[in-house]
Amino acid sequence: MKKKYKKILIIGLPGAGKTTLAKELAVLHDTVNVNADQVRKKAKDRDFSYDGRLGQISKIKNNKF
């Protein structure tokens, strides 16, 4: 049986501590931390429009990065 993973999306203003929180959660729950900036860089997708961000969230959700 394939294990189902839950995903948590952390959003907020720059400097609010999103990355710090995500890293700590990953350690506490023995999970993977996926950073949206790293996904955008790897996908060469720097579209910060509303639609662009929705597309990036979709890539993360579907593990297509």
Which pLDDT value is given to residue 64?
67
Q: Is residue 27 part of a domain?
A: no
40, 46 in Cβ contact below 8 A? yes
Cα–Cα distance, 38 to 44 (Å, whole number):
10
Chain position carrying tokens 């890539």:
59
Q: Is residue 54 part of a domain?
A: yes
Q: Is residue 50 part of a domain?
A: yes
Q: Is residue 48 part of a domain?
A: yes
Amino acid at 56: Q
Q: Is residue 13 part of a domain?
A: no
- Look up residue 15 and give its two tokens: 């400097």
Q: Is residue 51 part of a domain?
A: yes
Long-range contact list for 50-55, CB < 8 A, 24+ apart? Answer: none
pLDDT tens by residue, 5-55: 777 888 889 899 999 999 999 999 888 888 878 877 887 877 888 988 888
Q: Is residue 17 part of a domain?
A: no
Q: What is the count of structural domains for the chain?
A: 1
